[in-house]
Amino acid sequence: MTLVDSNVLLDVITRDLNWLDWSIEALDRRAAVGPLYITDVVYAELAVKNDSEASLDESIQILRVARSPIPKSALFLAGKTFGRYRKAGGIRISNIPDFFIGAHAQIAGLPILTRDVRRYRTYFPDVELIAPDV
């Protein structure tokens, strides 16, 4: 099982010229290993690029991705870790989805397929990251 970050799926949905090939290949490799999942937070992030809930559901079905609800213990860990981030000088609220995804991965023992490893490496160092530079 692999948690997939929104940036990888958005590469495919938006046909990003720089990352499309890498993201498709990475999704295919991870799908061969086991199921691909997104958190509810990633689902919400993907909604920005979709016209309707039905369209989004169709997109994630085509991409062979299923939703995985965030466990309560991961929600607590995300909040506590985000608090550490804020105390260390972090001020942007918009990056809290990364803390939900990282905490979910840590609690469930799942790797994350992502292109943006910075916060995951810093705040969830025990989570396996599948990324272009890892």
Report whether 35 contacts 68 (CB < 8 A): no
Domains in the chain: boundaries: 2-130
The CATH homologous superfamily to which domain 2-130 belongs is 5'-nuclease (3.40.50.1010)
Q: Say what percent of the chain tops pLDDT 90.
A: 79
Tens of pLDDT, residues 44-92: 999 988 899 999 999 999 999 999 999 999 999 999 998 888 888 877 6
pTM: 0.88
**Starting from the edge strand earliest in sequence, which strands make up the sheet with 112-113, in order?**
65-67, 36-38, 2-4, 112-113, 129-130
